[in-house]
Amino acid sequence: MKIFIFLGLCITFVVGCSDLPELAACNRPEGDCSCQSGLACTLTKKLIYQGQIIPLKQCMKEGMEIDVETVDLDNQSDDAARTKRWLFNRCTSESECRSNFCCAFGKRCAPKLLEYFTCYLVDKHNCGCRDGLTCKVTTSITLPIVGIQIPIKQCVKA
């Protein structure tokens, strides 16, 4: 799945590159696409693949501060790296964790995902979006050559 995310970021939309709606992918190798009025093409994610950093920009409200998420596609043990950042609280269910934390892998309390963070692996670690957010497809990108569309799932306000 990680390779699909990377490849999908190499090409954005095959049709049109102006007046894009909120959360639409807006960066292309030849330059950024234009977003609808009141929106700006803003960096939301940095993907690391084969040692290269690939930016993902999306149409976001102008002036909005975004926590840029870094996703290391080279590191197959990405979940282990996230575990190091989690609190040391042990748990067996989410009720044992504080607000906006979950019982990841049924072992440790971990922070729930922030707004606009990708939420593809929720079924793997059982730690979804923060309270008031929901995981849903916000945009899609097209793989080069084969033309397969890949949905981008993010935590957004419900």
The overall pTM is greater than 0.75 = no
| pLDDT confidence bin for 11, thresholds 50/70/90 | very low
pLDDT at 5: 41
> Rounded to 5 degrees, what are φ and ψ at 103?
-95, 85
| Least confident piece of the model among 6-15, 30-39, 46-55, 63-72 | 6-15
| pLDDT confidence bin for 132, thresholds 50/70/90 | very high
Cβ neighbours of residue 146 closer than 8 Å, sequence gap 6 or more? none
Mean pLDDT for the chain overall: 75
Phi-psi region of 106 (alpha: psi -120 to 50; beta: other; left: phi over 0): left
